[in-house]
Amino acid sequence: MKKNTLLILLTIYTLFSQAQPSSKPEDVIRRVANNVIDNTSYQFKNLKTGVKYPSTKGLESMPDLRAESPYNKWYYPMGVLAVSMVQLSNVTGEAKYADYAARNYDFVFSNSAYFEKLYKENVRTEWSPLFAMNELDACGALAAGLADVNLTAKRADYTAYLKRATDYVSTKQVRLADRTLVRPGPRKMTLWADDLYMSVPLLARMGKITGDQQYFDDAIMQVDNFNNYLYDSASGLFIHCYYTDVNKQGVARWGRCNGWLALAQTDLIAALPAEHPKRKHLIDLLLRQIVGFARYQDVSGLWNQVLDKKDSYLETSATAMFTYAVAKAVNEGWIPKSYISIAKEGWKGVASKVDQQGGIFDICIGTGISDAVSFYYNRPVPYNDVHGIGPVIMAGAEMVKYNKANPAK
């Protein structure tokens, strides 16, 4: 009887163990990345007829033609995904992930003439922002990913686009009198926390690539100004927006906008020369933010959708961003190693949201600003939403680096 009981228990344990996906950072991010690769079709589909095409070459104008895969659209999360795939190749030594990012940009640029023609015919598609370039979302993060890809690709058309995008951020996006980047609408001249990531990572990369100090100067100024407008010293967190028409901060300490700020700052510090006079100042600001958001981490390792509202749902993309920023700062030696405990707990939370197929749960969809905190509570969390995929891979890549440098004893 005892033998039978032990056999049954052993069988149950074995089955349960096999059913649980690995939470090791490298295993998790490979699952996530491979799932993306497997679901990228590099095809076009006519939305009316359902007919698919491998290329736009020789096709007549079809207003209903679109890229079939969500990962082939010109949308800022795809820039973050490209950055993460390059980082994944760097930590694993496997070229296929960076190759994926390169293939995505090649797919867009090789077929862009067709969609530019549609754009000029007043047909709007997911690629229209590539041609319009009339807001930071249309170019900043996407150009940052392209800059990483072009370090290897070295394509003239990519270089030309990077110059155009950088010029847009530097000279054409609307700014306040103090040169802070803002949005002209829907509420006039509003500062969004998200826009630090939609600008600074590109400026930081171009400063490093070109050696032109003006890009670093602009990026540093944006970090300082965003801190001045959006930081809330009472909570240690950042507010989602600042309304210049009434000179008031918004109402929500939204998780992902705080995450965008952390990612942007880490990108800038990483790009600056080690001897840059503002480097220590930027590290101090980043550490202030880390200490601030660490106070709100849930026992699960995750952070809430509205960081200071424990009755808002636990959200994955912000958690991944915070985990990445802390792990990156520790790995680079910017902050004391003891802070890695925040990232370790954060990673546990992130890993718990990734299934066996590499899909991710509880990622908030794209989110605008609102004067009602309930708006943030009620944002949907579709399965494997694109806003969280890149950050999850980035967070895992930094945890892989940490674990390699600090093997368990």
265/204 Cα distance (integer angstroms): 10
Inside any domain, residue 10: no
159/68 Cα distance (integer angstroms): 27
**For residue 86, which of 72, 77, 96, 74 has the smallest C-alpha distance?**
96
Cis check for the bond before 129: say yes or no (omega within 30 of 0): no
Could you give the 3-state DSSP secondary structure of residue 116? helix
Amino acid letter, residue 200: V
Domains in the chain, number: 1
315/255 Cα distance (integer angstroms): 8
Bridge partners of 191?
Answer: 242
293/194 Cα distance (integer angstroms): 16
In degrees and rounded to multiples of 5, residue 345 shows phi and psi of: -65, -40
pLDDT at 21: 76
**For residue 83, which of 152, 149, 145 has the smallest C-alpha distance?**
145
Are the beta carbons of 142 and 76 closer than 8 angstroms? Answer: yes
pTM of the predicted protein model: 0.94
Bridge partners of 112?
Answer: none
127/181 Cα distance (integer angstroms): 24
Inside any domain, residue 304: yes
What is the domain-level CATH number for residue 274?
1.50.10.10
Domain range for residue 173?
26-405
Give 10-residue mean pLDDT values along the chain (409 residues).
52 47 93 99 98 97 97 98 99 98 98 98 97 98 99 98 99 98 95 99 99 99 99 99 98 99 99 98 99 99 99 99 99 99 99 98 98 98 99 99 93
Amino acid letter, residue 395: A
238/219 Cα distance (integer angstroms): 18
150/361 Cα distance (integer angstroms): 32
Inside any domain, residue 150: yes
Which residues neighbour 6 within 8 Å (Cβ) at sequence distance 6 or greater?
A: none
Inside any domain, residue 4: no
Inside any domain, residue 96: yes
Inside any domain, residue 13: no
Rounded to the nearest 10 degrees, the angle between the axes of helix 213-230 and helix 200-210 is 160
Are the beta carbons of 343 and 330 closer than 8 angstroms? Answer: yes
Inside any domain, residue 88: yes
pLDDT at 382: 98
Inside any domain, residue 399: yes
pLDDT at 14: 44
pLDDT at 12: 45
